[in-house]
Amino acid sequence: MKNDAAVKIDNLKKEINEHNYNYYVLNDPKISDYEYDQLYNNLVKLEEENPKLITDDSPTQRVGSDLTKEFKSVQHSRPMLSLSNTYNEDELKDFEKRLKNILGDDAQIEYVAELKIDGVSISLKYVKGKLAQAATRGDGTTGEEITVNAKTIHAIPLKVDVASQEKYDLSEFEVRGEVFMEFTAFEKLNKEREALGEKIFANPRNSSAGTLKMQDPKIVAKRPLDIFVYYLISNNTDFVSQTDNLELLKQLGFKVNINYEYCKSIEEVIDFCNHWEEKRHELRYEIDGVVIKVNSIAQQNELGNVAKSPRWATAFKFKAKQAETIINEIRWQVGRTGALTPVAELESVFLAGSTISRATLHNIDEIRRKDIRVGDTVKIEKGGDVIPKVVEVIKERRGENSKETELPDKCPVCGTEVFKPENEVLYYCVNNQCPAILKASLQHFAARGAMDIEGLGESIINLFVDEGLLKSFSDIYSLKEHREKLVDFEKFGERKVQNLFDGIEKSKEKEFAKVLFALGIRYVGSGVASKLAEHFSNIENLMNANEEEISSIHEIGPSVSKSVVDFFSSDQNKELINSLKNTGLKFEVAEKKISRNIFDGKSFVLTGTLSAMTRDEAKDKIISFGGKVVSSVSKNTDYVFAGEKAGSKLKKAEQLGIKIINEEDFQKMISE
């Protein structure tokens, strides 16, 4: 039996958690702040007297004392996909047409419409009811662990009562949500920073993102972060609908935005979107649209995903907010491909939560079409509430001495004559040694999602290029030869230089797909790089491939294949690959992925609870042996790997005659 102290501590924890739920989730406090503090202090005192009774899920453990020196990478169990966008009623109706093309014209499709919070996406994993891990979205496949900081957000429960949900196996589950700041809390934070002489934040979203990545959880705890959760995942149980999941999340004690609606038709979805576009200003937090999801989980599984987004969901983006300002200057930027892009330098103006001083003008054709000139008064907006752009010129305010904007005939950085390829609107600098191209290429190479070299940001790269230390990617791996010079740079020193060298050395661990993406081949994004790496296994096979071989890969078209072949036909790029090989970078897929493909081309569906391994471990093993794991059972499924309490997926497999295996069968297959 528990002693008196243990009983008192348990009762206090339950009482405090209940009051936290009332205050932070329901916004309906039942006791005064003083009474709450008394309960909390009593718990602190009891735990100090009985340190062995302190548990990770105690309310006193929300704020850790240790600094986070490094945010570890976390592989998401399922990708945190982005959403496709719609902007009007016709596009929403087209969304439904695409659904019916797959589900059938007679399919009855119902929806859930939820407000699209303008915040930061995170994933929360719970094991046996306790918060085990929190992670950022990252690139959708890999995020960063922020568990210590997430614990400081009072609306995130440290422990939930999974035993009360007998209908579901919630021994392990994941919740996804959006961290944000309310307008009043954000304004208060900025006033406090301004009073202390600190730099103020541009908007609530940026401050939320920056706060989640702070090293000191004590500072994070002082920031007014909040969360709405919107998605529930469990590999151990089969859910029926999104509405049921939202209700389950509320029952478990999570904070769910109340402004969602079950819609029986796309017309009801459209009414919901129109309503909130008009009423968005009445909310205490920023939204930039509505997320529309197919309500049925079975239909979601049948619809599946495309490369970057689910087919069963879309975002309806609200019309962007506008403001008026003046163009002071038009500058031409040179990107890593050599493309010249015009940028308007503006009189600063506050718009949609941030101060805008620059806006993209896209290309010279766009400038001529809108007749944009220096000195013009213009209307600007944030495209998708993110990227500022010039919408129109207010020509009646134009000055008498206004001059048309001309395209430079030479690169503004290196002076090389510009070139316009056939069938393109952009003009290019074709000098591979142009400092602007080199700097932008190096920034891409070192960026997160590519080689992720900590300490090698834009300002450092610009300095090193200007000093002649970096002339190609391979020079990064020779920087250690210049240690003495680097240490002498302003604001550098032994420690900063060593951290940079450590980051460079760590980048050598990046897998082949990341290295391929980092090369900056035109049209080869991270997704395409992964497909190429998986298909060709090593750089030699890819370099020797022709356009037809590359185009034969699923979802890779002629633009990509031509760009890849052109890149590797260059002697300069061949030399670059050889020099990077010599630095120790990985130019082949890990051996386990190319030599033990016993499941090559085979698809697996996992269902039920496993005993000898977790679902993620089983998934990793299947992939390591060349197979793939899919979410729903179909006639194309090769195996259903079933554990205990397997549900509808097992029944469907039996109906379709799909081969069903258990853990013993699986272990035997990989052993043989």
Catalytic residues: 116
SS3 253: coil
Q: What is the DSSP string of 291-348?
A: EEEESBHHHHHHH-B-SSSBTTEEEEEPPPPEEEEEEEEEEEEE-TT-BEEEEEEEEE
Query: Terminal CA-to-CA distance of the chain, rounded, Å?
Result: 49
What residues contact residue 475 under an 8 Å CB cut-off, 6+ apart?
469
DSSP 659: E
8 Å CB contact between 62 and 151: yes
CB crowding 137-148: b at 16 or more within 10 Å, else e: bbbbbbbbbbbb
**What is the H or E stretch that residue 533 is in?**
helix 526-536
- State the Cα–Cα distance between residues 362 and 380, nearest whole angstrom: 14
CB crowding 604-618: b at 16 or more within 10 Å, else e: bbbbbbbeeebbbeb
CA-nearest of 652, 523, 380 to 372 is: 380
DSSP 609: B
**Which tokens sit at 242?**
């999104």
Sign of CA dihedral 630, 633, 635, 640: positive
Query: Which is it for strands 387-393 and 659-661: parallel, antiparallel or unpaired?
Result: unpaired
